[in-house]
């Protein structure tokens, strides 16, 4: 009868390490394996969070090198270095074949013989991923080595003999333990984060804060434990620039274009740059190839400026985190915006009614579109390009005009230009800013919506503890609503700031569309009467009446009055008196018969 030790040795002899010229090695051993020929290895490094000191790439690289030296594995060097470095990659969310660098090596099995990791959890955290990895190793006859296994010993899984199932069986058993551990870690992290959300000024860490803030150690006066958030000077400077340009009248799209042109980093790119600066001791040469940073978008600006995190509030699942009194829990003692400033910015970002927008038509040659009207029926007049005339449009809509008007476009364009510059040209342009003051109603509405959503969960709690927790949260929201209702509302106000420019300056610098927008925005209107028969070679000023109404009219009145007072001494007694409005000068401008 053959001894069991002899049977074991004969079975091991059937497992080749790499071809017939190499020695034979046992499967799944932890110590004492020596390969007769140097194997081509890939050093595998993975890190879920770059800031994790305990699993740094340097520590993983050192452990892999020690295991490789003991087993006769070569990783190459220089440009021929075989290494897969995947930073900021979660093993629970991203399988080995989907990782940026490791996935590339797995797609080229002919380039290496063995993969080396520091520990099991650096490779996988689920049985499904381990099954796929073991299946791949068996198919391509590769080895998988873990520098530190259970109990600290090295683990070697040799899949070069496809007939031996022991390596795959052992890996699946370890994968089950890794999956259970991963779920336990997830549950602990989730519970810890839920507890920290209720702690004032405490930042949970391990994630990206809202743009404008950076993590910092908790001040000693608040206990000194953990992290809090502080304003990020560079990001705050960008936020202030964006708000200033919004106040100046720029759209979010135009602001995004300017930020990109100036090379200002977007929120995600800014955070990545901060992480790289903070962890500059990482081997950046082995990191992923540099990609074009994310760009600013109009939606990015709107989302950033309407985030209550700018008020210093903690947010979770899109809602403020509240304390037992219903007040928002603060994540920082230095908010970037006050409630008044936040409401003002929100008002600037609110969609404007369609009626307030300047007309945009493909016909850019019609200066007086929406300005010129037929006196006979009051309808708009449109430009006929073939004739070069503005004409009454009543016939297009099936209405009757008792005196349809037609007038040469060049005449009325020149006339309106002269009259507008004469009346409004000297007027200083002011930028009007709406200061909303403070209105507790937006927060009341948001809190009410949150309360109503909370009420829909009534009766779904089975345990007394859950019922008590549900009741406490409802009472806190109710208390917050009661407190908000006691706050006084401050009415908004308008603040006019001179721009240093006149309407004449902007008119001379504008194109046809810009001039037409200026006319419409200032309330300019031209009424044209039906012409009389005759060989007119210029505009008959008795046919037209030009008026400017709206906010600009009082300014024109003041300019005309001042100009009339200055010129009064030089005007003969029989000359017409200078009036205060454009509307009073039409007859005086008519040519002599």
Mean local confidence (pLDDT), 163-178 = 60
Question: Does residue 139 register a pLDDT over 60?
Answer: yes
Q: Between the ranges 285-299, 348-362, 549-563, where is the mean pLDDT highest? A: 285-299
CB burial string 458-497: b at 16+ within 10 A, e below:
eeeeeeeeeeeebeebbebbebbbeebeeeeeeeeeeeee
Q: Per-residue pLDDT for 516 more than 70?
A: yes
Q: What long-range pairs does 270-277 form, CB within 8 A, spacing at least 24? A: 270/211, 270/234, 270/235, 271/208, 271/211, 274/214, 274/232, 275/50, 275/51
| Mean of all residue pLDDT scores within the chain | 78
Which of the residue ranges 120-124, 516-520, 558-562 would you say has the lowest mean pLDDT? 558-562
What mean pLDDT is predicted for residues 237-251? 90
For 179, list phi and psi in degrees, rounded to 5: -65, -40
Closest among 85, 80, 38, 81 to 60, alpha carbons compared: 85
Specify whether the CB–CB gap between 214 and 274 falls below 8 A: yes
Give the pLDDT confidence score for residue 197 in this predicted structure: 67
* pLDDT > 60? residue 586: no
Higher pLDDT, 200 or 406: 406
- Asked whether residue 50 carries a pLDDT value surpassing 80, the answer given is no
* 8 A C-beta contact, residue 162 and residue 27: no
SS3 548: strand
CA 89 – CA 292 distance, rounded (Å): 19
Beta strands in 48-175 (DSSP E): 73-74, 83-87, 114-117, 143-146, 155-158
Lowest mean pLDDT among 53-62, 136-145, 228-237, 560-569: 560-569
Query: Would you say residue 202 has pLDDT above 70?
Result: yes
Angle between helices 441-455 and 339-349 (to 10 degrees): 90
What pTM does this model have? 0.45
Answer whether residue 552 shows pLDDT above 80: no
Among candidates 487, 490, 492, 493, which has minimal Cα distance to 444?
487
Mean predicted confidence (pLDDT) in 52-77: 86
Instruction: Tell which residue, 323, 383, 326, 327, has the closest CA to residue 516.
Output: 383
Query: Sorting pLDDT into bands at 50, 70 and 90, what band is 243?
Result: very high
pLDDT band at residue 32 using 50, 70 and 90 as cut-offs: very low
Handedness of CA 208, 210, 211, 214 (dihedral sign): negative
Q: Are 65 and 102 in contact (CB under 8 A)?
A: no
* pLDDT confidence bin for 249, thresholds 50/70/90: confident
Give the separation between CA 203 and CA 226, rounded to whole angstroms: 7
In angstroms, how far apart are the furthest CA atoms of the chain? 144
Task: Identify which has the larger pLDDT, 50 or 240.
Answer: 240
Are the CB atoms for 138 and 86 separated by under 8 Å? no
Token pair recorded at residue 150:
């259970």
Q: 180: pLDDT confidence band, cut at 50, 70 and 90?
A: low
> Which of 51-55, 111-115, 254-258, 435-439 is predicted with the least confidence, judged by mean pLDDT?
51-55
Res 208: pLDDT: 85
**Which segments of 428-583 does DSSP mark as H helices, in order?**
441-455, 464-485, 503-509, 512-521, 552-567
With a cut of 60, say whether residue 179 has pLDDT above it: no
For residue 22, the model assigns a pLDDT of: 39
Mean pLDDT value across residues 521-537: 86
129 has pLDDT over 60: yes
pLDDT in tens, 315-328: 877 788 887 777 88
Q: What is the mean predicted confidence (pLDDT) over 344-352?
A: 82
Closest Cα to residue 368, out of 355, 384, 353, 357? 384
In this prediction, residue 416 has a pLDDT band, given cuts at 50, 70 and 90, of very high
Categorize the per-residue pLDDT at 374 as very low, low, confident or very high, splitting at 50, 70 and 90: very high
> Are 423 and 560 contacting, i.e. CB atoms less than 8 angstroms apart?
yes
Q: 439-468: per-residue pLDDT in tens? A: 788 888 888 988 888 888 888 888 888 888
């Amino acid at each position: 009868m053959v001894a069991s030790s002899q049977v074991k040795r004969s079975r091991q002899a059937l497992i080749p390490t790499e071809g017939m010229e190499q020695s034979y090695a046992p499967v799944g051993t932890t110590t004492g394996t020596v390969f007769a020929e140097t194997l081509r290895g890939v050093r595998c490094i993975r890190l879920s969070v770059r800031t994790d000191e305990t699993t740094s790439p340097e520590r993983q690289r050192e452990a892999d090198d020690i295991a490789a030296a003991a087993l006769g594995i070569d990783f190459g060097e220089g440009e021929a270095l075989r290494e897969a470095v995947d930073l900021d990659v979660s093993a629970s969310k991203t399988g080995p074949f989907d990782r940026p660098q490791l996935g590339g090596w797995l797609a080229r099995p002919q380039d290496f013989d063995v993969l080396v990791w520091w520990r099991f959890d650096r490779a996988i955290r689920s049985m499904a991923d381990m099954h796929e990895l073991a299946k791949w190793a068996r198919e391509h006859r590769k080895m998988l080595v873990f520098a530190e296994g259970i109990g600290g010993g090295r683990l070697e899984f040799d899949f070069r003999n496809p007939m031996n199932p022991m390596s795959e069986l052992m890996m699946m058993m370890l994968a089950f333990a890794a999956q259970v551990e991963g779920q336990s870690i997830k549950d602990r992290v989730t519970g810890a984060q839920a507890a920290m959300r209720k702690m004032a000024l405490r930042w949970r860490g391990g994630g990206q804060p809202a743009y404008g803030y950076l993590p910092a150690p908790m001040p000693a006066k608040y206990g000194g434990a953990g992290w809090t958030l502080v304003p990020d000077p560079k990001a705050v400077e960008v936020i202030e620039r964006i708000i200033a340009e919004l106040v100046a009248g720029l759209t979010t799209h135009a602001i995004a274009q300017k930020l990109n042109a100036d090379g200002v980093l977007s929120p995600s790119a800014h955070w990545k740059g901060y992480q790289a600066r903070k962890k500059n001791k990482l081997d950046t040469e082995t990191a992923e190839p540099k990609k074009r940073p994310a760009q600013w978008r109009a939606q990015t600006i709107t989302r950033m400026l309407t985030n209550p995190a700018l008020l210093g509030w903690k947010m979770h699942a899109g809602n403020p985190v509240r304390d037992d009194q219903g007040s928002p829990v603060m994540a920082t003692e230095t908010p970037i915006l006050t409630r008044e400033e936040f409401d003002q910015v929100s008002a600037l970002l609110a969609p404007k009614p369609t009626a307030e927008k300047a007309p945009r038509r493909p016909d850019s040659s019609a200066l007086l579109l929406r300005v010129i009207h037929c006196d006979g029926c009051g309808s708009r007049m449109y430009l006929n390009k073939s004739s070069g005339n503005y004409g009454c449009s009543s016939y297009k809509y099936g209405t009757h005009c008792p005196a349809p008007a037609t007038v040469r476009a060049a005449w009325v364009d020149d006339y309106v230009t002269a009259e507008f510059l004469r009346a409004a040209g000297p007027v200083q342009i002011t930028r009007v800013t709406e200061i909303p003051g403070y209105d507790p109603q937006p927060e009341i509405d948001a809190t009410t919506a949150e309360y109503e959503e909370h009420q829909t969960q009534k009766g779904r709690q089975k345990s007394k503890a859950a019922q008590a927790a549900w009741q406490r949260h409802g009472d806190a929201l109710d208390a917050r609503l009661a407190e908000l209702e006691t706050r006084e509302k401050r009415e908004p106000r308008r603040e006019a700031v001179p721009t240093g420019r006149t309407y004449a300056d902007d008119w001379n610098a504008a194109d046809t569309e810009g001039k037409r927008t200026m006319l419409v925005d200032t309330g300019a209107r031209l009424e044209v009467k039906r012409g009389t028969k005759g060989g007119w070679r210029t505009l008959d000023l008795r046919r037209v009446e030009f008026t400017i109404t709206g906010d600009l009219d009082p300014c024109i009145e003041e300019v005309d009055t001042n100009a009339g007072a200055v010129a009064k001494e030089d005007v003969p007694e029989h000359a017409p008196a200078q009036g205060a409005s454009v509307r009073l000068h039409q007859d005086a401008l008519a040519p002599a018969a």
